[in-house]
Chain A
Amino acid sequence: MDWKSGRLPLAGLRVVDWSLYWAGPYLGMMLHDLGAEVIKVEAPAHCDPMRTVIDVNRYSGDTGKPLTAEQRANISQHFNEWNRGKLGIGVELADPRGRQIFLDLVTQSHIVIENHRPGAKDKLGIAYSDVVETKPDIIYASLSGFGQTLPERDAMALGSPVELPSGLFLRNGYLDDDTPAKTGFSYGDPVGALAALSAVLLAVRQWRKSGEGRYLDIAMRDALSFGIGTAFTDWSMNGAARSRTGNRHPVYAPQGVYRAKGDDQWVAISVRDDRDWQALVGVVGAHDWQNADIESRRDNHDEIDAAIEAWTSEREARDIEGELQAVGVPAGAVLDFAQLKVDPQMTARGAFAEIEHPVFGVELRATSQWARGDRPQPLERPAPCFGQHNREILTGLLGMDAWVVDDLEREGVIADRIKVSGD
């Protein structure tokens, strides 16, 4: 893959992206990263909620004069992060003319992705069964919480809440704690998006070979559960409840997150084997445990942790990382977002790049995770403002006359501003 020359696997393909929140938009953005042209479809009265549900003022600290939803719509840093590179159209899908525009877009495309609640696409008449009539070889991917099958089809799930019914939540938690823990962000979304991306790419290969499209039904819950598949296989063999393991590892010992100097500063350390242990003792001290083998290190993990933390808590996390890495022991400062933004490795590898957004201004965005080293991805297009490319898409791709587009706009079938209701 090469972004500068455009040698990308999905070059020449077009995606209709009817997505919202995080998982679907991220999937669409990765399809863009791999070379597809992606058209984000939103309805004026039902825009992607990521544009508006998060009040920017909560982050700017300026709660005195909160921005209206309309003011937030084009500057949301959640929305703009996960819709980079797409074109945007604002079309009222509940209107028959709007629905027809959707179907016409599909006819000009190769892939449809959506992550609305199962049922929404049927209600609007834009489900796979509706579009396949006019576009028989379409690849249509639905990403939902639980999948398109009953009995759980209609259950609502966002990427964080879906962690509970995946099994992951009850396994998470501090060592031997009775209370489980949830991952600190909407973990089901990126995992679901990556699983759906794999399914779409496999379907593209099948389509290129056979000319046949297909429907794909991906569930975020399934993708999360797959990541802890070990627990399900264990249960099927042993039927035993397991206690929570916190930051410890099934093999490595010691492993932990240790307090470093400063407020809320931490360092993660893994000792994989006896060699790592001798190297760590050489730096840290902990001579009482110098000759401890793996069994002994596991049996005395608490005491060893205390000895390590006595050393780490006097030192800066980055210094500890440097000292231990110098002797080949896996160690890393626990970075917050501000530290991540300037992390030398991220920066050196071109993980983040600036892009100019027409309303927000300069934004720092992540580049594709596959574009690294000598294959950087120049960011060319920020996330679309609501309805930003209505005219370009309708007159260009769909070949409509300008006066027809004027009429559609006058009658509210298309719009370049969101329609707001409630708070």
Chain B
Amino acid sequence: MDNQAIAEKHQQMLEELLNEYTKATVLTKPEKAQKLMGQVDLMADSKEGLEMLFEQIPNLTEAGIFKGSPWEDASKLVPTLVNGTLKSGHPNSTIEILSELRLLSVAKGKFDLEGLTQEEAANYIQEVVVSNLEFVFNEPQEETRLVMSKHELSKVHSLFKFLSSYTDYEQVKAKIAEELYLICEQRPVVTEKQRKIIAWVKEKIELNPEDPEDQKLLSFQRSIYRPTKRSVGHDFRSYRQLLSTLSEDELKEESGEISEMMLKHGLVSQFQASLLLHLVEHKHLNLVPVCLGLNPTGVARFNEMSTYVMQLITEVIDPFNAQCIYGLGKMLENGILSREAVRSGLSNLLSIRIHPEVEKRILKSTRTPHEKVSPKQYLIGAVFRILGQPLGVGQGNNPTCQSARGISMWSQHAPAKLIHMIQTAAVYDDLTFRFEGREIKYSTTPQGLVQVLDHNLDAVSVTLVPMLDRVYNEMMRLASGRGEDPHKWVNPALYGQWIQMGFASAYDYMSDAIIDFDGFVKVFYAMCHPDYNGGNRLVYPNPVGIFITSAKAEMLGFHAVSLLRVDVDPKGELRAYFLNPNNEGRQDWGQGIKPSVVGKGEVYGESSLPLHQFAARVYAFHYNTLEATDKMNNVPEEKVQRVRELAKESWGKSYNWLDIRKKW
């Protein structure tokens, strides 16, 4: 059937089922409603379907579809509850969608509802849109990914597309500006999300340069579309021509302006690639560090190895591969490029031939692959980004927090090993790991957690993650059945020998219960709390397993993060700073536990929580067995109880708790 015929059939079915529903007595109404809602569910995932439902919504309402439900009295609806209901799946999400259509119908003056004015309905829709930007941009959060099916996501996404065509964006500008700020302040390696939002704003919203709120959004736009005054009215090609007419001083001005813009939001424009290539080509050696936005340390390192860096720029940078300029700058500043092994590794990468399968994955991960840029350039560009922004590594829409965490750890502490791994994987589309004396080979192990990889990742991740995921899964398989969490053995084998041998888990496999949680918290504090661990700082990231909980503090699932450091924030509060590979700035784990990503002393890419709140979500971590056991007794009881209460009242409800003492 063509789309027209399908649409007509759906229309007809909806009318028929609505008719049956209307005619049914109270006895069989629930059964007829179920069928009717089944049809609504089918139609709700497309624009055409929503339009038909929108047409029918007065009839559906009058037939009593909301009757006796929490949606009955439209004046009592709460916009902030919509998000949770949409995530709860059919039939709740379906009736929620109908409820929004009903309010929209009232707002448009097409339908009268008692106790609700047109204006109130319009405000309601506005607020619903504002509190669901994740659906407007189709960028679901971790929690959302865990609970929603593909069909449910497409239903909800269609709804918000539909609602947004009727929404006045004046009201949501501030929210979007904040959203962009929160994303950019984490300096993610993959910048597609913010670019998508910025492009969307450019297309949909008229901005006023005089308005301070609009200036925020304009600043994001400028960083991509017109980073310098001279770039206005040009594209990157005509800009390059313009550059050859500029004097040395003008070029310096241009370099300063453009790098300032880049550092502001961590976004690189195509213009900057044009400028950088122009500077390198015309040997403006002193201007290259300015254009890269380097700090004095970075400048010194650049001067040390300028020939090498210029070669990298010439071979890798392109206006269609521009974002890695930011990574390159950061690599120079953090000193990674000063290591001989890293430089050798990168030089090797420049001469490899990439396996066709890997090339395919890399091109698929590039939103707009350009023929002028080779998959190798994209790959090395991604290496720059990862080595320059190790805390910006993300997992995309994949259940691969383990792999993302690994890439991030190696890029900080074993960069040359990482580069070598990338090289092997890229050339052979295969990878091997050691595990307890055996060799685990990607190509001969069965499927991992990822069924279908979401390619919304950087080129390094698309190269490595499918392999790491499988290797990890195979290690987990080999280490299972030992009566303890297999991560105890898998983490050191996967991430490296600098992971401590001691492994504490709150959950006991044998008794299927939480055992000696108090002891667990004490060991955790003895490992990382400066008051009880002898004032030590953490040296390497600690791979930590946490419970993901909903905004209502209900248990949702497990997640892997790295604890990076424990420090006092600007206000004097002790916080855990950690890497969360899902790159989310707006999280709510319930009980007032909301990880922060900016403004509480975080370095770009870090998330943070007050230490006791973080402790209340941890279920597994590594520690030094020689140290912790005698230090754990220093931890005062009241500190432990504070954590215990939060844990027990949230994820703890899903488990049995046994308070027998355990030897740690």
On whether the two chains bind one another, the answer is no
Instruction: Using CB atoms and an 8 Å cutoff, list the residues of chain A in contact with chain B.
Output: none
Instruction: Using CB atoms and an 8 Å cutoff, list the residues of chain B in contact with chain A.
Output: none
